Amino acid sequence: MVLPLTNGVSALGELAKAIRQSVVRSLARAGSGHLGGSMSSADILTTLYFSVMRHDPANPSWTGRDRFILSIGHIAPVLYATLAEAGYFPKDELLSLRKMGSRLQGHPGRDHGLPGLELSAGSLGQGLSVATGMAIAAKMDRLDSRIYCLCGDGELQEGSVWEAAMAAAHHQLNNLVAVIDRNGVQIDGSTETVMGLEPLKKKWEAFGWDTLECDGHDFRSLMSSFQKTNVEQTRPSVIIAKTKMGKGIKSIEGDYRWHGKAPSMEQAEAFILEIAR
C-alpha cells in the first residue's frame, strides 16, 4: 500500500525526532559515522518520505514510485533511519550499522540488499547525474514518477555536479528536483572558507533551474517549496534548504568537527534525551 502522506507539522516533527534518535543510537553503536550531516538533513528526508513522495514500503520496487537518490552517501545513517521509520525494514536493524555482514553499509551499497535503497553511492558528485538519467528515462516512458536527489553543499565543489545541472536543464527535466543541504560547512570548515559557493542561488538560476530557497528545519517552509517545484513545466527544480549541521543537539549545532564523528554511548544518551524534548 502506498504510504499515506501527511501535512501535519506536529506529526512530521515527531517522525523527525524519532529519526534523529535512531541516527544517534545507530552511530553510537557503530562507533563511527557522520552525525552532523545526518542531523542537518533529517527534516528534509522526513518531509520527502512522509509528506511528498509516492512510495510503498511493502513494495520497494513498485514501478510507479517516486525515487530518492542520496548523492551524499556519507549521511547514510539518516537515510536508513528514515527508511526504517517508514517501514522498509525493522528499526532494530539500524543497530547493525557499519557492522560486518550488515545491510547497512557505511556508505549505501545495494549489493547488500537493503529494501528501499535506490543507489549505491559515496563518491561525491555522482548522484545528480544518476538522478538525471532516471528523470530522462521516466520521461521517455511517460512515467509520472518524480526523481528527488539530495546533494550536500560541499559536494557542489565537484565539477561533475555542474555537468549534470547543465544536462538536466538542457533536457527540460521538470520531473527532477534537487535539494541542497545548505548547512554551510564541510570537513575542513565553512564552505565559504574552503571553496566559496556563493552566490549559490544565482549559479543554479544561471544553469537554467527553477531555484527555491527555504528553511530546511521548518516543515511548512519545506512543504511549500516542494509544492512549488516544477510549476514552470520546462525546468528542473532545486531547493536550497538552509540547515544547521548537527541540528537538534544544541551543543554540536553548526560545529564542522561533527561532520564525520559518532557520539560516545554517554553522549548518545544525553543527545537522545535532548532530541525528545
Segment near other proteins (CB under 8 A); pick from 10-18, 116-124, 234-242, 259-267: 116-124
Q: Which residues, including other chains, have CB under 8 Å from residue 202's CB and lie 6 or more apart?
A: none
156: contact with other proteins by CB under 8 A:
no
Quick one: 36 or 116, whose CB is closer to Mg ion? Answer: 36
Quick one: 138 or 197, whose CB is closer to other proteins? Answer: 138
Quick one: 120 or 157, whose CB is closer to other proteins? Answer: 120
109: contact with other proteins by CB under 8 A:
yes
Contact with other proteins (CB under 8 A) among 39, 78, 81, 130: 130
Q: How many CB atoms lie within 10 A of CB 76?
A: 27
Segment near other proteins (CB under 8 A); pick from 11-19, 25-33, 111-119, 193-201: 111-119
Q: Would you say the C-alpha torsion 196, 168, 242, 213 has a positive or negative sign?
A: positive
As measured in angstroms, the least distance from the Cβ of 107 to other proteins is 9
Please name the helix (run of DSSP H) or strand (run of DSSP E) that holds residue 14, with its range, or none: helix 9-30
Q: How many CB atoms lie within 10 A of CB 197?
A: 18
Rounded Cα gap, residues 227 and 113, in angstroms:
32
Residue 32 DSSP symbol: -
111: contact with other proteins by CB under 8 A:
yes
- Per the CB < 8 A criterion, the answer to whether 204 and 240 are in contact is yes
Angle, helices 76-86/35-47, rounded to nearest 10 degrees = 40
The binder of 166, among Mg ion, other proteins, none, by C-beta within 5 to 8 A per type, is other proteins
Quick one: 136 or 270, whose CB is closer to other proteins? Answer: 136
Provide the b/e sequence for 83-106 (b: ≥16 CB within 10 Å): bbbbebbebebbebbbeeebbbbb
Contact with other proteins (CB under 8 A) among 118, 155, 181, 210: 118
114: contact with other proteins by CB under 8 A:
no
Provide the b/e sequence for 17-28 (b: ≥16 CB within 10 Å): bbbbbbbbbbbb
Quick one: 81 or 128, whose CB is closer to other proteins? Answer: 128
154: contact with Mg ion by CB under 5 A:
yes
As measured in angstroms, the least distance from the Cβ of 143 to other proteins is 8
**Nearest 5°: phi and psi at 32?**
-160, 170
The binder of 154, among Mg ion, other proteins, none, by C-beta within 5 to 8 A per type, is Mg ion
Residue 235 DSSP symbol: S
Quick one: 8 or 189, whose CB is closer to Mg ion? Answer: 189
Contact with other proteins (CB under 8 A) among 6, 96, 120, 157: 120
Q: List the x/- string, 133-152, binding to other proteins by CB under 8 A.
A: xxxxxx-xx-x---------
- Per the CB < 8 A criterion, the answer to whether 121 and 134 are in contact is no
243: contact with Mg ion by CB under 5 A:
no
Q: Where on the chain is the footprint of other proteins (CB under 8 A)?
A: 109-111, 118-123, 125-138, 140-141, 143, 159-160, 163-164, 166-167, 170-171
